[in-house]
Structure 1
Amino acid sequence: MSVIDVRHVSKSYPRRGGSAPVQAVDDVSFAVERGAVVGLLGPNGAGKTTTIKMICGLVTPDSGSVRIAGIDTRSRRHDALRHIAAVLEGNRNLYWRLTARENLEYFAGNRGRSIRSARTDVDRLLRLFQLEAKADELVSSLSRGMQQKLAIAVALLAATDVILLDEPTLGLDVETGYEVREHLRGIARDEGRTVVISTHDMPVVQDLCERAVIIAGGRIVVDDRVEHLLRLFASRAYHVTLAHGVGAAQVARLAAASEGLVTVEHVDGRASITADLVRPEDVYALVRVLEGEGAVIESLGTVTTDFEAVFRKLVAERAPGGQRALGQEVSHA
């Protein structure tokens, strides 16, 4: 069963001066199953934040519908939002003049729980996020990393079906970002809730998300499993080492034969060639050109691909005005 169902939503914003409005989101549709962990991704201005805000009821779509646990967010907004907890960029779900513990107790009360009934969960979350020593300090005095961990703890305390996390690691140092990622991994593994993560932090997506929905230009350009995308792009990138160098004319012939992006570095008189191909089988054309020119191939293998590289390629290929079409292996919403 889909716990989030977004159908044909669009949203535009007026420009100053009365010119044509900005189309932030244009006919976006996707569904998220109960218990799934999904990354909602896109470059700046792609429309992902507007989409997140429409899901959690902060922005009303111009057209289309959003259903949470089968409840329409337009006609039964309050009923639908009982199923959602959100951490928005900027820690907007925290009161800075309350302590960490008081924030947790306050938001538990907002969900209809007494302080006594919530105490066990409050203490558990303070321990989980290593905030016990700071429990009675004002949020305004906490570091950015501690504030972010507390914001996620507040969302977890709600025990909702859906958790929306907008840039959960933004602005954190490397160590704290890793720590938050580990906490999110535990949530995904142990809590069994539906998690939607909007982020620019690609290691978060690669480590935690089963699926990636990528938005560019206000439209969904890719909706597929992260594992599949990594496997697809790993099979398209090759690295070739030659026993000698190559000239610019040879590089141009390699690119033309393989219809891909070919880059060359020379190290100690040897050519190190990286070919980002349109189709995996184009590697054979690359090898034929090299062999036809008498090249001595020392090694040939696929390039290890991380999700950040996959994301950049997908946006370049599938966004409006992109350079080329992606193969049929990728499914689209």
Structure 2
Amino acid sequence: MTKAIVEVKNLRKSYKKRKTKEMITAVDDISFTVNRGEIVGLLGPNGAGKTTTIKMICGLVIPDGGMITINGIDNQKKRLRAREHISAVLEGNRNLYWRLTVRENLEYFAGNRGKSRKSVAGRINELLEQFRLKDKENEMVNRLSRGMQQKLAIAVAMLAGSEVILLDEPTLGLDIETGYEVREILREIVRTQHKTIIITSHDMDVIQDLCERTIIINSGKVVTNDRVDNLMKLFEVRAYSIKLDGHLSEQQHRLLREKFPQLVYTPDTYQSNLEVDLTNSQEMYELFDILKLEQIPVDTIDRKTINFEQVFLKIVKGEEEHAIPERA
């Protein structure tokens, strides 16, 4: 059995603009793999090609070129067989029938997968307990809270029994308590049932908390494919906060801005603060050479604590400098 359960090779997709008929490249030769039992984040800013990639993985959009295999099955040549191995929750409650009850939704979607009501009755009861929906099983879905609708949508995907689950914004619009509950459920699914989960989200706290690895797409290309903890360490050592006992001169400020375009300078009444990213140790010496021009005393130097949202923004805003090769 191969380690990779999802393989994307040289994927391409272009669209024609309706008004101008201009061809736009949405996905430009993307390749990556997802291994069995991983929780992987598939990220990108709006318009990066992420949604198109997701739809091609699910078999909803046909690529112009390249290949996608799910559990070794080509999802273009054997689309129905490939789809047996992947379930998708696209924007949560859109996957549900609102005028059916919680239990009826589970029974209906199981029937779509060719499973009888009797054969899934026991599994439905397990999922209702696991997702804390048992007391709502006869409630119409349109009367549920957003959090309960989201949990039900994930339970429907679980009922399919597929090895890969793709979750699009699984915590969008949820309150803090329900968001944490969904995270814990997803961790338990991977830990006890060895599922593979691909998450797209704009909530970087969710990605940092859940995902072992992240694949970041920008301008139709993969710009980063690495473990989340590796990325956190990489960018944390670059970010510094320096407190000065005094203010920069205009010349110093200009020289620093030329050398470090992302520098943030905050003067206070008597002191000032610099926030700067350094890519190597030599830049630290260059920074202090500029500070020495006016002999400004340095009060403190601290390495900044960084979160994954900052890492993500640094990568997508300065991908040429920060793009990292695949190390999956």
RMSD: 1.9
Q: Look up the match of 1:240.
A: 242
Q: Taking structure 1 as reference, are residues 269 and 128 closer, same or farther at Cα in structure 2, changes over 3 Å only?
A: farther
Contact 1:238 / 1:276 at 8 angstroms: preserved in 2?
Answer: yes
For the residue of structure 2 that corresponds to 1:154, the secondary structure is: helix
In the alignment, does 2:88 pair up with 1:92? no
Letter in 1 for 2:14: S
Structure 2: give runs of 5+ residues left out of the alignment.
Answer: none
Moved more, 70-79 or 88-97: 88-97
Letter in 1 for 2:276: A
Q: Taking structure 1 as reference, are residues 284 and 159 closer, same or farther at Cα in structure 2, changes over 3 Å only?
A: farther
In the alignment, does 2:315 pair up with 1:295? no
Contact 2:256 / 2:263 at 8 angstroms: preserved in 1?
Answer: yes
Identity of aligned residues (%): 50
Q: Distance in 2 between matches of 1:111 and 1:119?
A: 14
Of 140, 145, 160, 1:138 maps to 140
Q: Look up the match of 2:202.
A: 200
Q: Look up the match of 2:179.
A: 177
Q: Distance in 2 between matches of 1:113 and 1:19?
A: 45
Contact 2:93 / 2:149 at 8 angstroms: preserved in 1?
Answer: yes
Deviation at 1:78, TM superposition (A): 0.7
Deviation at 1:69, TM superposition (A): 0.5
Q: Taking structure 1 as reference, are residues 18 and 285 closer, same or farther at Cα in structure 2, changes over 3 Å only?
A: closer
Q: Look up the match of 1:115.
A: 117
Q: Look up the match of 1:151.
A: 153
Q: Distance in 2 between matches of 1:246 and 1:18?
A: 51
Q: Distance in 1 between matches of 2:109 and 2:132?
A: 19
Q: TM-score, normalised by structure 1?
A: 0.91
Question: After TM superposition, what 4+ stretches of structure 1 lie above 6 angstroms from structure 2?
Answer: none
Contact 2:44 / 2:218 at 8 angstroms: preserved in 1?
Answer: yes
Contact 2:85 / 2:162 at 8 angstroms: preserved in 1?
Answer: yes
Deviation at 1:179, TM superposition (A): 2.5
Q: Taking structure 1 as reference, are residues 123 and 300 closer, same or farther at Cα in structure 2, changes over 3 Å only?
A: same
Moved more, 266-275 or 30-39: 266-275
Q: TM-score, normalised by structure 2?
A: 0.92
Q: Look up the match of 2:253.
A: 251
Deviation digits for residues 16-73 of structure 1, max 9, x if unmatched?
Answer: 2452222211111111111111111011111111111111111111111111000001
- Across the two proteins, how many residue pairs are aligned to each other? 325
Q: Taking structure 1 as reference, are residues 284 and 187 closer, same or farther at Cα in structure 2, changes over 3 Å only?
A: farther
Of 34, 37, 53, 2:36 maps to 34
Contact 2:247 / 2:296 at 8 angstroms: preserved in 1?
Answer: no
Q: Taking structure 1 as reference, are residues 5 and 169 closer, same or farther at Cα in structure 2, changes over 3 Å only?
A: same
Q: Distance in 2 between matches of 1:89 and 1:247?
A: 51
Moved more, 63-72 or 171-180: 171-180
Structure 1: give runs of 5+ residues left out of the alignment.
Answer: 319-323
Q: Look up the match of 1:321.
A: none
Q: Look up the match of 1:331.
A: 325
Deviation at 1:144, TM superposition (A): 1.6
Moved more, 279-288 or 35-44: 279-288
Moved more, 149-158 or 175-184: 175-184
Q: Look up the match of 2:265.
A: 264
Q: Distance in 1 between matches of 2:60 and 2:308?
A: 30
Q: Look up the match of 2:280.
A: 279
Contact 2:213 / 2:228 at 8 angstroms: preserved in 1?
Answer: yes
Moved more, 247-256 or 192-201: 247-256
Contact 2:314 / 2:322 at 8 angstroms: preserved in 1?
Answer: no
Of 225, 238, 241, 2:227 maps to 225
Q: Distance in 1 between matches of 2:262 and 2:221?
A: 26
